[in-house]
Chains A and B, each alone.
Chain A
Amino acid sequence: MFRISPTSDIVLLLAFAAAVLLGPIIMQPFGAAYPDLLQRFAIFGIFAIGFNILFGLTGYLSFGHAAFLGVGSYSTVWAFKLVSMNVVPGIIIAIILSGLFALVIGYVSLRRSGIYFSILTLAFAQMSYNLAYSVLTPITNGETGLRVLRTDPRYLDALFGGETGARLPPTNFFGIEMTGWPGFYFCGVVLIIMFGLSIVIFRSPFGMMLRAIKSNQDRMRYTGFNTRPYLLSAFVISGMYAGLAGSLMAVTDPLAGAERMQWTASGEVVLMTILGGAGTLLGPVLGSGIIKYFENIFSAINESVLSQFWAFLPETLQHVMVELSSLFVGEGWHLTLGLLFMIVVIFLPGGLMEGAMKLFRIKHSPKVTSIAKSGQRDVVGEGAIEPMEPPKPPAPGRSRQDAKPAE
């Protein structure tokens, strides 16, 4: 009677884990198989998965999640300065502090819903950004950004006799340096764990209650649920995901700047989630991967690459094509992304995952009579297609009743 079996979730998680760990091989043909970019995929994937727990499940659109990203980064860098260059304390502190920060912002913002909620979160995030930029300079080092210094105390490291040599010690996970491939694999494993946790949340009664709130919050109230603690929990959980993502940014590159909290960063995660498919498990990861890919690969394409690409054309035509296509790459990569986003929102409001499921459905349509039964509706988060029954001829004496409009 139910849509998704636990086994299929385990298969999904295993497939996801395999895809992440084989990332360096899979991304080879796309020219993206280097650790800096792959770990950015993973970090923004975590950010978007967390955002989706709030937006995808409850429908509350936060425009200020970058604030938690920033809190995560700053607190991790402070942990590197004061506690240890081992990343574990930094990550734990980041998750706790961003969770507390989300508790405060969520408590206030969730008094309103819809656009007012979005505006409140946006206001809080911009406030945090400006504070980090100016007033809180002693904590955030303002414009310059917070960085780890050789002379920082690092009390825990000092306690265990870690000598501070002439060189700044690298961030490490019990001795494994968090640069290059180890850095990517660390982020990748965290991404897999966080994806697994999001599956658990999606399938739990708690997750179902969040969906019910998105569907009809009034009915939830008249059914005896106090919806506020549910919403606040979802907000805090997604804030902690964002804090973890911010922390991992500092882990792989130990500095933190205020621009990480700017509204453009908050908007980016909204785009990622919608592009991939809000309310789906895989969508946010897919969306963040695509946006980061465009940002890094498309922006790096220059005229000489384009000339090579169009080299098979006659010279005049080649020039025209280079001129035309150069609008969409390099500095213009935003244009490509904007067009892609428009196409997805107009034709696939459920995001790329909806597109993927449509393809799947065309292939299998004769077998699937109802998406609700097929076990796939949940993955897409969209409606079932029921087979149309031929209309029955109205029974005599009943038709008048049917035709009568309800009062």
Chain B
Amino acid sequence: MDSPLLHIDNVHKHFAGLHALSDINLDIRPQETHAIIGPNGAGKSTLLNVCVGRLAPSQGKVLFAGTELTGRHPHEINQLGVARVFQTPELFEDLTVVENVMIPIFSRKDGAFSLSLASRFDKQGAIADKAMSILADVGLGDHVNHLTNALSRGDKRRLELAMCLVQDPKLLLLDEPTAGMARADTNATIDLLNEIKKTGVTIVIIEHDMHVVFSLADRISVLAGGRIIAQGPPEEIKGNPKVIEAYLGEEQV
């Protein structure tokens, strides 16, 4: 087996006595699509936040392709090739759609900082073309010049996905990429993510919609109460009594 692309080693996260994550050990293999499921409050988003540097783990470490991520700034982690879609889309709301997608290309082109005064932002032909083609791929081709805050919620999610894809990430972290989308849009997103999978991008996806999970995931980890209670291929997870209990237990509350 290949060495893992993302190696989460014995990670704990406490918030003033609340154990959001306890002893998480998780290996994400290169080119797999790994779904993380679990009831609300299980610690799924916290786990992604620890990976991208938004939160520092109380204990343990995260390695990406052998590089330790713990203690690094979010921009450094992104520069290594980790892109993230948030649960609530994080966009440049008062810029246009195409500008939103062009800006991430600049971060790849210029690194962390460039005092580029000699050129004009709107004369970046190659960059604009790349942004346009990605926008067409995610189905926002008709909205390129609209202001982002005028988009619907589903379109905002697709835009955020485009902003990540345009960076050609090695690892894509998706936090509920289809929440709030109509079924047809959800299916379009599944098709798109399957296309991305084929290009060799490793994907970690948090999702409540089991239709999405079972259409995409190679492996699934189930998180409940801050612990991983089950892990394995989809068929195995479906019939696992612990998983059924975790979900049913939540519904009885």
Stretch at the interface among B55-63, B98-106, B245-253: B98-106
A225 to B180, CA, bound (A): 29
- In the complex, the answer to whether B113 meets A222 with C-beta atoms within 8 Å is no
A-side contacts of B115, CB under 8 Å: 206, 233
Residue contact A212 to B150, C-beta cutoff 8 Å? no
A74 and B52 CA atoms in complex are apart in Å by 47
Q: In the complex, which residues of chain A have a beta carbon less than 8 angstroms from the beta carbon of B114?
A: 205-206
> What total of chain B residues lie within 8 Å of the partner, measured CB to CB?
56
What per-residue 1/0 map shows which CB atoms of A183-220 lie under 8 Å from chain B?
00000000000000000110111111101100110111
A393 within 8 A of B: no
Are B121 and A208 closer than 8 Å at their CB atoms?
yes
- Return chain B residues, CB-CB under 8 Å to A370: 145-146
- Which residues between 97 and 128 of chain B lie within 8 Å of chain A, taking CB atoms? 98-99, 102-104, 106-108, 110, 112-124, 128
B22-30, B73-81, B215-223, B228-236 - the one binding chain A: B73-81
- Is B95 a contact partner of A224 (Cβ separation < 8 A)? no
- In the bound complex, CA of A222 to CA of B146 (Å): 23
Among the listed B74, B110, B147, which residue makes an inter-chain contact with A384, where contact means beta carbons less than 8 Å apart?
B147
Q: Are B122 and A3 in contact (CB under 8 A)?
A: yes
User: Contact partner of A2 among B118, B122, B146, CB < 8 A?
Assistant: B122
Q: Is the CB of B113 within 8 A of A229?
A: yes
Q: Most chain-A Cβ atoms within 10 A of its Cβ — which of B75, B83, B180? A: B75
Q: Given contacts A215-B95, A407-B176, are A223 and B78 in contact (CB under 8 A)? A: yes
Cα-based distance from A231 to B108 in the complex (angstroms) = 19
B195 part of interface (Cβ distance < 8 Å): no
Q: A3-B122, A223-B107 are in contact. Are A372 and B145 (CB under 8 A)?
A: yes
Docked pose: A86 CA to B119 CA in angstroms: 34
Whether B183 sits at the interface, judged by CB under 8 Å, is yes
**A-B Cβ contacts below 8 A, count:** 134
Counting chain B CB atoms within 10 Å of each CB, the highest count among A215, A225, A377 belongs to: A225
Residue A230 lies at the interface, judged by CB distance under 8 Å to chain B:
yes
Question: Within the assembled complex, what's the spacing in Å between the Cα atoms of A3 and B120?
Answer: 12
Query: A405: shortest Cβ distance to chain B, in Å?
Result: 8
Residues from chain A with Cβ under 8 Å of B122 in the complex: 2-4, 203
Q: Specify which of A6, A224, A373 lies most central, judged by the most chain B CB atoms within 10 Å of its CB.
A: A224
Question: A1-33 CB contact bits vs B (8 Å, 1 = yes)?
Answer: 111101000000000000000000000000000
Chain B residue nearest to A406 (CB atoms) is B180
Contact B112 A223 (CB under 8 A): no
Residue of A373, A398, A402 contacting most chain B CB atoms (<10 Å): A402
CA separation between A211 and B52, bound complex, in Å? 23
Residue A163 lies at the interface, judged by CB distance under 8 Å to chain B: no
Residues of B136-161 contacting chain A, CB below 8 A: 144-147, 149-150, 153
> Could you tell me the distance between the alpha carbons of A395 and B135 in the complex, rounded to whole angstroms?
26
A102–B104 CA distance with the chains assembled, in angstroms:
29
Q: In the assembled complex, which residues on chain B have CB atoms less than 8 Å from the CB atom of A218?
A: 90
* Residues of chain B within 8 A of A227, CB atoms compared: 75
Chain A residues with CB under 8 Å of B243's CB are none
Count of A interface residues, CB-CB < 8 Å: 44
B121 contacts A203, C-beta separation under 8 Å: yes
Q: Is B163 located at the chain interface by the 8 A CB criterion?
A: yes
Partner of A200, one of B40, B117, B144: B117
Q: Which of B94, B108, B112, B179 is packed against the most chain A CB atoms within 10 Å?
A: B94
B208 touches A407 (CB 8 A): yes
> Would you call A383 an interface residue if the criterion is a C-beta within 8 Å of the partner chain's C-beta atoms?
yes
Residues in B neighbouring A200, C-beta threshold 8 A? 117
CB of A194, distance to nearest CB on chain B (Å): 14
Complex interface bits, B38-77 against A, C-beta within 8 A gives 1, otherwise 0: 0010000000000010000000000000000000011100
Q: What are the residues of chain A within 8 A of B184 when measuring CB–CB? A: 398
Q: Which residues of B contact A208 (CB under 8 A)?
A: 95, 99, 102-103, 106, 121
Measured CB to CB, the nearest residue on chain A to B99 is A208
Q: Is the CB of A225 within 8 A of B112?
A: yes
User: By the criterion CB–CB under 8 Å, are A206 and B79 in contact?
Assistant: no
Contacts known (A218-B90, A222-B90, A223-B103); A205 close to B180, Cβ less than 8 A: no
* Distance in angstroms between the alpha carbons of A3 and B145 in the assembled complex: 9
Q: Mark interface residues in A87-127 (1 if CB within 8 Å of B CB, else 0).
A: 00000000000000000000000000000000000000000
Query: Nearest residue in B to A227 (C-beta to C-beta)?
Result: B75
Residues of the A chain whose Cβ atoms lie less than 8 Å from the Cβ of B90: 216, 218-219, 222
A207 touches which of B86, B93, B110, B121 (Cβ 8 Å): B121
B182 CB–A CB distance under 8 Å: yes
What's the Cα separation between A6 and B147 when bound, in Å?
A: 21
What are 27 contact pairs spanning A and B, CB under 8 A?
A204-B116, A205-B110, A206-B115, A208-B95, A208-B99, A212-B95, A212-B99, A212-B103, A216-B90, A220-B75, A220-B103, A221-B75, A223-B104, A224-B78, A224-B104, A224-B112, A224-B167, A225-B75, A225-B107, A227-B75, A383-B147, A383-B149, A384-B146, A398-B184, A401-B182, A406-B180, A407-B208
Q: Kindly list the 7 A-B residue pairs having the minimum CB-CB distance in the complex, ordered from nearest.
A: A406-B180, A224-B78, A224-B107, A2-B122, A226-B112, A215-B92, A229-B113
A residues near B (Cβ < 8 Å) are 1-4, 6, 200-201, 203-209, 211-212, 215-216, 218-227, 229-230, 233, 370, 372-373, 377, 383-384, 386, 398, 401-402, 405-407
18 new A-B contacts, CB < 8 A, other than A207-B121, A224-B79, are A1-B145, A6-B120, A201-B117, A204-B120, A205-B106, A205-B110, A209-B103, A216-B90, A221-B74, A222-B75, A223-B78, A224-B107, A224-B112, A233-B115, A372-B146, A384-B146, A405-B180, A407-B208
